Amino acid sequence: MKRIDKLTPEHEKLLPVIRDRYINLALKGGDEVDVEAFHKGIAFVYSLAKIEAPIKIMVDSPLGMQYACHFVKAMLEPGNQVRDQVGNQVRDQVRDQVRNQVWNQVGNQVRDQVGKQVRNQVWNQVRSQVWNQVRSQVGNQVRSQVGNQVGDQVGNQVWNQVRDQVGNQVGDKVRKQVWNQVWAQVGSQVWDQVGWRVWNQVRDQVRDQKMTFEQSACIGYGYDADWLAFYQVFTELGIVKNDLLAKYDEFVSSGVWDTVMFQGVAIGCRRPEVVRRDDENQLHNDQKPAIRWRDGFELYYLDGVHLEKELWREIVSKEMSFAEIMRIENADHQAVALKYNPEAILANGAKLIDGPTSRGNELFLIENSELNKLTEFPQMYYVRMNCPTGRTFIEDVEPEYARANPYADACQAFNCSLTPEQYGMLRREG
């Protein structure tokens, strides 16, 4: 094929289409899984590393995946009665013993945090998919993780081949353009804004419960969407033709978000049920969890900042006092709490310098206060607007503008990106 050193207008139209396709598949495509394609894909990636196909388990969340690892390893623990009690005639008794042993290892705090829904889902997945196979097929092999071996072979046999095909037939300028418009943008939205944040929160929750956190194999939509989208561009342009890439894309497209891979057992989890973000693609919602999985595992965020559910509730209630906000030790959490509780700020010695105007606007100045010391801003301006709907909005105003224009209506106009004249011409509702 002729070398491509410049994208045509038709080629350029393709870039946002593929970019959005992979972002939507990862974050907006629902959480359904093609189990047959997942099983087939696991066998395929293990074969790349010349490792025998494992038992395959699919659970409903990244946290559930960690508990599944814990349950399977508990079944195989030396000295565990489970290893010697797998006959059909005592299966019910063994199930109870395993359940009790594992539950005790996980601890009461985990049971409370994860909830009955997650716990039962994970247990049922492990029991139904592994119980009859684990002793005879796996044994102690589950102690050995193979995610790095599999990942390395995906890189060596898939990534490197298609990279060479692109490098030989595509100019640097085109590669950079596709990278910027596809790989970087997909990666920013899927991995940077969602993937690594989920990974960190799951790791912290698992370690808080004194459990071993099992390292992800970094295989699934949470990790692979960016580079798969990048090479999909060149596949559709007819430059890349690679059966291994097609098989790997088919595996990820089964709907797997992440995986943990052992010698003998591979555990995957499905994509989130819902992901809620703001206009800047940050995880955010002040009404519901920002991310939720089918089994009930959920994470709460405001402006891209993760919050425990109880603190999130306190902040979005907008009823926190300034003293309560100042007691928050985490600086990011404190900043979010200040943003969502502006009345607490005004109650901390704010001075009314203009208003209320005929439009109901008021301008306040805060200086020489604890908040000024905390933020290192000597002067802070806020405008309070009474909306015709009955709601009150409080917004900060750029200090330089407010000092030069210390009028409530002018500052409100500035925050609306209007001149005072344009703002004055707006007709009030009601």
- 316-325 pLDDT tens trace: 998 888 888 8
Give the phi and the psi of residue 145 in degrees, each rounded to 5.
Answer: -80, 140
- 59-112 pLDDT tens trace: 888 888 888 887 777 766 554 433 332 223 223 333 343 334 333 433 333 334
The continuous run of DSSP H or E covering 168 comes out as helix 160-169
Mean pLDDT of the chain: 78
**Burial (CB count within 10 angstroms: exposed 0-12, middle 13-18, buried 19+), residue 410:** buried
Mean pLDDT of the 131-154 span = 53
Range name among 98-107, 118-127, 333-342, 356-365 with the lowest pLDDT average: 98-107
Confidence label for 2 from pLDDT (cuts 50, 70 and 90): low
Q: How far apart are CA 149 and CA 45, in angstroms?
A: 10
Two structure tokens written together for 416: 């609306």
Looking at residue 380, what DSSP letter applies? E
Instruction: Domain ranges for the chain, please list them.
Output: 9-274, 275-314, 349-425
Q: How far is CA 428 from CA 355, 387, 395, 418, 423, in A?
A: 17, 10, 19, 15, 10
> Quick one: CA torsion of 232, 236, 238, 241, rounded to 10 degrees?
40
How confident is the model at residue 71, as a pLDDT? 77
- 4-30 pLDDT tens trace: 788 889 988 999 999 999 999 999 988
Strands across the sheet containing 274-275: 274-275, 291-292, 298-302, 305-307
Q: How far apart are CA 59 and CA 255, in angstroms?
A: 12
Range name among 123-137, 242-256, 350-364, 403-417 with the lowest pLDDT average: 123-137
Residue 353 CB neighbour total at 10 angstroms: 14
Beta strands in 325-405 (DSSP E): 351-354, 362-367, 379-386, 392-397
Alpha helices in 327-393 (DSSP H): 331-340, 342-346, 370-375
Range name among 164-168, 209-213, 298-302 with the lowest pLDDT average: 164-168
Contacts of residue 211, defined as CB under 8 A and 6 or more positions apart, other chains included, come to: 66, 70, 105, 106, 110
